[in-house]
A and B are shown apart, each in its own frame.
Chain A
Amino acid sequence: MHLSMPKPEQEILRNRTRLIERLREIVPVDNVIDEETQLRAYECDGLTMYRQLPLVVVLPENVEQVSKVMALANEMNVKIVPRGAGTSLSGGSLPLGDGILLGMSKFNRILEIDYANRCVQVQPGVTNLAITKAVEHEGFYYAPDPSSQIACSIGGNVGENSGGVHCLKYGLTTNNLLGLEIVLMDGSVLRLGGKYLDSDLYDVMGLMTGSEGLLGVITEVTVRILQKPEAARALLLGFPSVESGADCVAAIIAAGIIPGGLEMMDNLALVAAEDFQSCGYPRDAEALIVCELDGTMSEVDHLMTIVSQIAKDQGANSTKASQSEQERVQFWAGRKNAFPAVGAIGPDYMCMDGTIPRNQLGFVLGAIKKLTKKYGLRCANVFHAGDGNMHPLILYDANKEGDIEKAEAFGAEILKLSVAVGGVLTGEHGVGVEKRDLMHTMFSETDLKQQQRVKCAFDPKHRLNPGKVFPTLHRCAELGKVHVHKGKLPFPDLPRF
């Protein structure tokens, strides 16, 4: 593991005792955690290969406390790492040794459910699933459904702009948000949006979404909820090769159909899922598509026929349609548990998250297969095929000398390949520390500097979650300089206006 993080600032470490005292003046004494045994619980997020004890953990209970903690950190020049449920797969909430870990777990209340305006106002620590649970008795649900939805917080979802299996049709977190309350590094509290659409001027809410805790701390979220479709059914389509599965995905979209969910798994993943929890997957298929169609009963039946025919034309060798709601849920259970299922055969796994143009699926999967030989590691593939978002799960053994390094190198090759075929490094898990050093494969130095200038507008001293997302930190003063001066033009032969 060769992850380099910003060097701990001695000044901060020296002031630890004083910092803890002052934090205890802001939040209840027990909400400041400074003992090593208790700090251990926070040493990593879902990307477990990287661990670091935080300087101190603070668990604020309301926005005033968050604001005061931020202002104090600003005053004492201490770093802050916001943390929701800590399920990030990219190390977004990995602690810093010289940073406060700001845990949002006490922000766990649903503030208002407004069915008439189809929205729910919640605190950021509420879990994704809890929102749906709170409204489902009225037939509503919150659409983005990451597989981690039992555990992950809505604040973390905003932090990562998380997706789920229903995002193809219903959008990611960013497409389902109406409002946020955020606290900036200087302690100021801003409200963005509300129960209405679009921003008055710049879309700061859109920018906050997916900002990985680098711009501000989210203290309230207003999401849109949707009425459940009248009917939803799922199809399990087995294919003799990954390529034919990929072709089928393209053919469904090309036919003008946007399914509620369109997922694919390769043989290693589907067998692991079936072993983990039996859900009727065809063990002999090289690729399995789970396709959900929703709408009116008539529409669903109609689309099921069309999609089954497309699958047949693309060479599917097994087709199974869910006959009940129970069976539909069962079809999804395997997919939703795919990560832990693969984890069970691991013993460890590293999850990649590149998105590629759909028509490159076959090619990239072929290349991954070759890489498994090169590195001598297995790789199970699970993906949101409808939107080209791949999740190769690289299996390794953390206790085996050199395995982590091999897995990291394997992962990096996959991501570089994703970018090379017109895709991106991460579709929904975020950059964090994991893909930080690969940012240059997608962005030029100019692109990255522009992004960092945006960061400077929020956090000029780089106190919020530094060491994440950007491979190199430039000081804001340096970034702010304008390098074009009178008489020193980069293009001397320019026409004058």
Chain B
Amino acid sequence: MKTLAPETEKDVTQIVVTALSQGTPIDIIGAGSAAALGRPACAEISLSTLGLNGVTLYEPSELVLTAGAGTPLSTITALLDEQDQQLAFEPIDHGQLFGGSPGTGTIGGLVAVNASGPRRIKAGAARDHLLGFRAINGRGEVFQSGGRVMKNVTGYDMCKLMAGSYGTFGILSEITLKVLPKAETEVTLLIVGLDDDQAVDVMTTVSGLSHEVSGFAHLPAVGSDFVSPAPAELADRSLTALRLEGPEISVKTRKSELVDYLAEPGRQIEQIHSLASRSLWAKLRDATLFRHGSSDQIWRISSVPTKGAQLVKDLMAKQVPVTCHYYDWAGGLIWLAVTPANDAHAPAIRDVTDIHTGHATLIRASDDVRASIPVFHPQPVALAALTKRLRTSFDPQLIFNRGRVREDL
């Protein structure tokens, strides 16, 4: 496989035009940290965006940042850190999940997979923070959409389409994101020992209170693996984590109110602060629990929060060999590890997801498995057809990431 690393939009365009004229598909890669997401790449040529590197605009008081799509997330984070700002959607770092090293992903890559972490439930996903972009479509044309301002309804909201398109609409060359101030402080309450049902109940109830919790996760049994240093008494106990962020004075009030609200005889509630709290949520975000050389296949299911625990029970009742699971987004997101199988237990997992409504995405499995079963949740006929028409409206010859999101796309 040949990798090209153009440094300008014009070079990208030339490569695309050449590819079109020769009928050669191109795989688009950033740093490759999320290259194993989706169906396996199959093109002979790959185009790396790493040459499209650099922050071209950052105005902290305007809450806006523009960078080349190949700019490493770590560069951007470092810059934002200096101004106490952040990408509020908590971009997932896929590095470790796929056995790579952390901190390598590019900004273009994370927008292309709409990678959003625990705070998604409160602050929105990558799609909600993408203000504008420039890209090269499958006709070899540079086009742009959106802008650099917070509110913009001029023309179709193509930003929403580009976020989560896995490079099948075009090669992103430049990205403009909304950035936000970091919270002054954070604290995480850990409720010890709830079962899945109780935890989902607590999380959904708390999500309806005015305490502005910015993370709701439940870790059955394996909880203590996430907390470092983990107090010995937490070993093998489940943990339900609720994160509070904001100005010190506000967090203090909300914390004491929430602790009072949650208090029950015999219920143990721990607190972790700053570093320990941040590290817990980073691990939850990146699903690092599933890292250690295990061959387990990994699924990510987005469903109705109150249905979370029942969904997992139904999976088990259907004999899906779940080896490990945890909940984020107050029960609305389930990370699931299963014993490997040729079909990754997709039929059962998707049937159960359909019953509760939502979608199940196969995140990690061997190339063979990801090539043979749909990685993304199969769509009803009319939507599948629209999906295809959308794909070809940007890339009529399916020149980019052919087959990456679906066999016929």
A: residues with CB less than 8 A from B are: 115-118, 139-140, 160-161, 163, 167-168, 171-172, 174-175, 184, 188-192, 194-207, 209-211, 215, 227-230, 250, 253-254, 256-258, 295-299, 302-303, 355-359, 384, 387-389, 422-431, 435, 439, 442-444, 446-448, 450-451, 453-458, 469, 480, 482-487, 489-491, 494-497
Alpha-carbon separation in the docked complex, A194 to B393 (Å): 26
The interface bits of chain B over 180-217 (1 if a CB of A lies within 8 angstroms of the residue's CB, else 0) are: 11101000000000000000000011011110100000
Interface residues in B147-200 by Cβ distance below 8 A to A read 147-161, 163-165, 180-182, 184
A167-B151 contact in complex given A210-B157, A298-B252, C-beta closer than 8 Å: yes
Q: Across the interface, do A427 and B157 meet the contact criterion of CB distance under 8 Å?
A: no
Q: B210: which of A139, A167, A172, A197 is its contact (CB, 8 Å)?
A: A139
User: What CA separation (Å) do A195 and B329 show in the bound complex?
Assistant: 12
Q: A211-B156, A250-B61 known; A197 and B329 CB under 8 Å? A: yes
* Of the residues A116, A203, A298, contact of B161 by C-beta under 8 Å: A203
Residues of B bordering A, CB below 8 Å: 2, 14, 17-22, 24, 44-45, 59-64, 84, 114, 116, 120-121, 124-125, 127-128, 137, 139-145, 147-161, 163-165, 180-182, 184, 204-205, 207-210, 212, 246-247, 249-250, 252-254, 257, 302-306, 329, 332-333, 357-359, 361, 376-377, 379-380, 382-383, 386-387, 389-394, 396-397, 405-406
Residues of B within 8 A of A429 (CB): 153
Q: Which residues of A contact B148 (CB under 8 A)?
A: 357, 422
Q: Chain A contacts of B250 at CB under 8 A?
A: 295-296, 298-299, 302
Query: Can you list 20 pairs linking A and B with CB atoms under 8 Å apart?
Result: A116-B208, A174-B157, A189-B382, A190-B386, A194-B304, A195-B304, A197-B121, A198-B114, A198-B127, A200-B359, A203-B127, A206-B127, A207-B160, A256-B184, A355-B151, A389-B150, A439-B154, A447-B155, A450-B143, A451-B155
Q: Give 5 A-B pairs besides A117-B305, A184-B386, A295-B250 with Cβ atoms closer than 8 angstroms.
A: A209-B160, A302-B249, A357-B148, A427-B149, A444-B143
Point out the residues of chain B lying under 8 angstroms from A167, CB to CB. 151
CB <8 Å contact, A253 and B358? no
B393, A423: Cβ atoms closer than 8 Å: no
Residue of A303, A457, A458, A491 most packed against chain B (CB within 10 A): A457
Contact B154 A482 (CB under 8 A): no
Nearest chain B CB to A261 CB, angstrom units: 14
Residues of B within 8 A of A204 (CB): 383, 386-387, 390
A171-B128, A196-B332 are known contacts. Are A431 and B149 too (CB-CB below 8 A)? no
Known: A203-B127, A359-B59, A484-B17. A442 touches B154 (CB 8 A): yes
CA distance A139 to B208 in the complex (A): 9
Q: Contacts A357-B149, A358-B61: A485 and B21 contacting too (C-beta < 8 A)?
A: yes
Q: Is the CB of A207 within 8 A of B153?
A: no
Shortest Cβ distance from residue A166 to the other chain B in the assembled complex, whole angstroms: 13
Complex alpha-carbon distance, A107 and B299, angstroms = 38
Is A423 a contact of B147 with CB atoms below 8 Å?
yes
Complex: A439 Cα to B154 Cα, angstroms: 8
Q: Are B155 and A230 in contact (CB under 8 A)?
A: no
Q: Are A196 and B357 neighbours in the complex by a CB distance under 8 Å?
A: yes
A132 to B120, CA, bound (A): 23
Inter-chain CA distance A143–B87, complex, in Å, is 22
Q: Tell me which of A184, A188, A482 contacts B396 (CB under 8 A).
A: A482
Rank and list the top 5 A-B pairs by shortest CB-CB distance, nearest first. Answer: A206-B160, A299-B250, A200-B359, A256-B181, A457-B389
B19 to A359, Cβ gap below 8 A? Answer: no
The one of A303, A355, A487 in contact with B150, judged by C-beta atoms closer than 8 angstroms, is A355
Taking CB atoms, residues of chain B closer than 8 Å to A168 are 150
Whether B212 and A497, one on each chain, are in contact in the complex, defined by CB atoms closer than 8 angstroms, is: no
Say which residue of B156, B204, B391 sits within 8 Å of A210 (CB atoms).
B156
Question: Which of A195, A424, A450, A497 contacts B19 (CB under 8 A)?
Answer: A497
Contact A458 B386 (CB under 8 A): yes
Chain A minimum-CB-distance residue to B10: A491
- Once A355-B152, A422-B148, A446-B141 are accepted as A-B contacts, the answer to whether A229 and B210 lie under 8 Å apart by CB is yes
CA of A123 to CA of B120, assembled, Å: 26
Known: A446-B143, A450-B137. A358 touches B62 (CB 8 A): yes
B249: chain A residues at CB < 8 Å are 298-299, 302
Given known contacts A196-B357, A256-B84, A447-B144, A497 and B22 CB-to-CB distance under 8 angstroms:
yes
Contacts A175-B128, A227-B208, A447-B144: A258 and B180 contacting too (C-beta < 8 A)? yes
B397 to chain A: which residues have CB within 8 Å? 482
| B164 contacts A201, C-beta separation under 8 Å | yes
A489-B17 in contact (CB<8A): yes
Residues of chain A within 8 A of B155, CB atoms compared: 431, 439, 442-443, 447-448, 451, 469
Alpha-carbon separation in the docked complex, A116 to B14 (Å): 53
Distance (Å) between the CB of B262 and the closest chain A CB? 16
Name the residue on A nearest B302 (C-beta). A196
- Once the chains bind, are B390 and A454 in contact (CB under 8 Å)? yes
Shortest Cβ distance from residue A168 to the other chain B in the assembled complex, whole angstroms: 8
- Please name all residues of chain B whose beta carbon is closer than 8 Å to the beta carbon of A486 when the two chains form the complex: 21-22
Whose C-beta in chain B lies nearest to the C-beta of A194?
B357
Q: Contact between B329 and A254 (Cβ–Cβ < 8 Å)?
A: no
B contact residues around A384 at 8 Å (CB): 151
Partner of B20 from the list A195, A199, A482 (CB cut-off 8 Å) is: A482
Chain B minimum-CB-distance residue to A229: B210
Residue among B14, B61, B140 making CB contact with A359, cutoff 8 Å: B61
Select from chain A the residue with minimum beta-carbon distance to B333: A197
Inter-chain contact A201/B379, CB cutoff 8 Å = yes
Does B305 contact A424, Cβ atoms closer than 8 Å? no
Q: Please tell me if the beta carbons of B386 and A457 are within 8 angstroms of each other in the complex.
A: yes
Distance of A158 Cα from B255 Cα, bound (Å): 36
Chain A contacts for B389, CB-based, 8 A = 456-458
Shortest distance from the beta carbon of A478 to any chain B beta carbon, whole Å: 13
- How far apart are the CA atoms of A384 and B153 in the complex, in Å? 15
**Most interface-central of B116, B125, B165, B397 (chain A CB within 10 A):** B125
- Report the separation of the CA atoms of residues A257 and B250 in the bound assembly, to the nearest whole angstrom: 13
Q: When the two chains form their complex, are residues A116 and B305 in contact, meaning their CB atoms are under 8 A apart?
A: yes
Chain B residues with Cβ below 8 Å from A359 are: 59, 61-62
Contacts of A228 in B (CB 8 A): 210
Assembly CA distance A184 to B387 (angstroms): 13
CB-nearest residue of chain A to B252: A298
CB distance from A254 to the nearest CB of B (A): 4
Cα(A302)–Cα(B383), bound, Å: 50
* Complex: A431 Cα to B157 Cα, angstroms: 12
Docked Cα-Cα span, A302 to B64, in Å, equals 26
Could you tell me if B17 and A494 are in contact, using CB atoms closer than 8 angstroms?
yes
**In the bound complex, CA of A430 to CA of B44 (Å):** 43
What is the chain B residue whose CB lies nearest that of A179? B357
Chain B residues with Cβ below 8 Å from A191 are 380, 383
Please give, as numbers and ranges, the residues of chain B lying within 8 Å of A194 by CB-CB distance: 304, 357-358
Taken together as a complex, chains A and B put the C-alpha atoms of A384 and B405 apart, in Å, by 40
Known: A295-B212, A298-B249. A447 touches B151 (CB 8 A): no
CB contacts (< 8 Å) of A250 on chain B: these are: 61
Complex CA gap A480/B209 in Å reads 50
Partner among A197, A202, A425, A444 whose Cβ is within 8 Å of the Cβ of B302: A197
Q: In whole angstroms, how far apart are the Cα atoms of A491 and B120 in the complex?
A: 44
Distance in angstroms between the alpha carbons of A496 and B22 in the assembled complex:
9
Name the residue of chain B whose CB is nearest to the CB of A295.
B250
Interface contact A210-B153, CB-CB below 8 Å: yes
Query: Are the C-beta atoms of B390 and A424 separated by less than 8 Å?
Result: no
CB distance from A268 to the nearest CB of B (A): 23
Task: Tell which of A191, A229, A230, A389 has the most Cβ of chain B within 10 Å.
Answer: A230
Contacts of B120 in A (CB 8 A): 197-198
A residues less than 8 Å from B2 (CB atoms)? 497
